[in-house]
Homo-oligomer: A and B are copies of this chain.
Amino acid sequence: MELCFLGTSSGVPTKTRNVTAVALKESKGKGWFLIDCGEATQHQLLKTSLTVNNLQAILITHIHGDHCYGLPGLLASAAMNHRTEPLTIIAPKGIQDWFEATQKFTQLYLPYPIQFIDAESLPSVTIGQFTIDLTTLTHRVPSFAYRFTESTIKIYLDFAKLAEHNIPRGPIWGQLVKGEDVVFGDKVLKSRDFTYYAHAPRRIIIAGDNSEPEKLAEFSHNCHALVHEATYAKELAEQAKEYGHSYAELVARFAEKAQINNLLLTHFSPRYQTDPNADTSIEQLRREAAQVYRGQLFLAQDFTRYRMDTQGELEQIFEG
């Protein structure tokens, strides 16, 4: 399971950071999910191994342009890349309205079906290897956090239990490991009594713009990693609140309290430069967050990738 940041700037692109987009790769196969789709997300993809043909779904956190203006171009290019598979888009209703207006006024025809799911109405949905649900955040417009919970975890037979109950090797084992209950003599063998999950389901939350991290308190239960905006440093706390954003310390305090082991900050105001030696750099945000958060802290950059192992441990992938 991998996270790849495709854009980590808020509002406008810079020379080193594009506007928001995050890719979440499934642990098996090539399937992936795109969360937000700022302008030029398709251009960023050209520099990765991700392809629109393996895209399972697109999720948009809110209607602001720096989170969605790349959508029409990416979908048009998927058409030119001969995608035929249906594509699910989970988004606020305004995104569907905007996309339909875009199709109409720019005569955009897609040869594959799009299924829009209105985020407001979503209890939960399973797509590919994840069950996805969401919660609402606080921003100038409705904004959502999407939670991805692994839904396809390998099941193993509990050989000790099988021996204890004298269940003979054979088709019964196969049925039990597939999750089926089996009639055996005068008993019903329950699959869950003779099997166990390889590991607990991994769970990642990717949040949209939000000035109140506390809103994720219940939702982040058993969550292995949180991707959250930290647009500003605390010195701009008032501006953050006015614009519906968070500052680094605010998010970090929440993650500490919620006992989230991995916190990935992103969506930095362009005022915070990538160069750590700049007068105003994102190192300021890192220091501020590190002072109150004892978990693993990551400040995302474009194209940084993180791999989560089956135990929910996250590490940055560096490639030669």
User: Chain A interface (Cβ within 8 Å of chain B)?
Assistant: 11-15, 18-19, 39-40, 42-43, 46-47, 63-66, 68-70, 72-73, 76-77, 80-81, 94-95, 97-98, 101-102, 105-108, 140-141
Closest 7 CB pairs of A and B: A98-B105, A101-B101, A40-B40, A39-B73, A94-B105, A12-B77, A69-B73
Which residues of the other chain, B, contact A101 by a CB distance below 8 angstroms? Answer: 97-98, 101-102, 105
With A39-B73, A80-B12 in contact, is A106–B18 under 8 Å at CB? no
CA distance A101 to B13 in the complex (A): 23
Q: Provide 14 A-B residue pairs closer than 8 Å at the C-beta atoms, listed in order of the A residue.
A: A13-B77, A18-B43, A39-B42, A40-B40, A40-B43, A65-B76, A66-B73, A69-B76, A94-B106, A97-B101, A97-B105, A98-B102, A98-B105, A101-B101
The interface residues of chain A, by DSSP majority, are classed as loop
Q: Which residue of B lies closest to A108 (CB)?
A: B65
Asked if A63 and B98 make an inter-chain contact with CB atoms under 8 angstroms apart, the answer reads no
Closest chain B CB from A7 CB (angstroms): 11
Which residues of the other chain, B, contact A97 by a CB distance below 8 angstroms? Answer: 101, 105
Which residues of the other chain, B, contact A77 by a CB distance below 8 angstroms? Answer: 11-13
CA distance A69 to B38 in the complex (A): 12
Asked if A73 and B65 make an inter-chain contact with CB atoms under 8 angstroms apart, the answer reads yes
Which residues of the other chain, B, contact A73 by a CB distance below 8 angstroms? Answer: 19, 39, 65-66, 69
Closest chain B CB from A65 CB (angstroms): 5
Q: Which residue of B lies closest to A73 (CB)?
A: B39
Q: Which of B39, B70, B95, B105 contacts A95 (CB 8 A)?
A: B105
CA distance A14 to B42 in the complex (A): 10
Closest chain B CB from A49 CB (angstroms): 13
Q: Which of B39, B80, B105 contacts A40 (CB 8 A)?
A: B39
CA distance A42 to B15 in the complex (A): 11
Q: Which of B11, B42, B66, B98 contacts A13 (CB 8 A)?
A: B42
